[in-house]
Amino acid sequence: MRSRPIRRFSFLALGALLTNTSTAESVRILVQRSPLAGSQYYAARRAWGELRPGDRLELVREADNRHDRNAIRIDWRKQALGYIPRAENRAVARALDAGERLVARIATLRDDPDPWRRIEFEIFVVIGDNDTAPKGSKPGEMLD
C-alpha cells in the first residue's frame, strides 16, 4: 500500500517537470550506462588525449551489420570509438528504430589496460521540445 502514494508522487513530479517549460524546455532521463565495446579496434586509442567526460557521442544504428542486427556504433567527432555491447544494445536499437530522441555522452575515462574498463558512456532519452544541445550539434560537444 505504501507504493501507491510514492508511485503517484513520482508521476506527479514527472508531470510537473514536463509541464513547467519556464525553467526547462526538455528533460533528459538516463536510460543506460555501459562500457564501450571494441574500443581497442577503433579510434579510441588515437583520440585518447582529446576525449573528455561529458563529450557528446553520436549513436549510429547499423541494422545491416552482419555480426549483430542490433548493432549501434558510437562515434565521437565523426570517428568510430566502438559499439554498445551486444548484451546491452537491443532496447537502444528498438528506441532508435522507433525514432526516439536519444543523446549520449562520455561518462568515465580510465587509463586501464583492460579495454572494457577504459571508456564508459551514458545514454539519455530526451522528453520535451528542446534538448540542451540543439539537434545538429556536433558530436564531441559537451552535454550539461
Q: What is the mean pLDDT of the chain?
A: 81
- pLDDT tens-digit series, residues 72-97: 999 999 999 999 999 999 999 999 99
pTM of the model: 0.74
CA angle 70-71-75, nearest 5°? 145
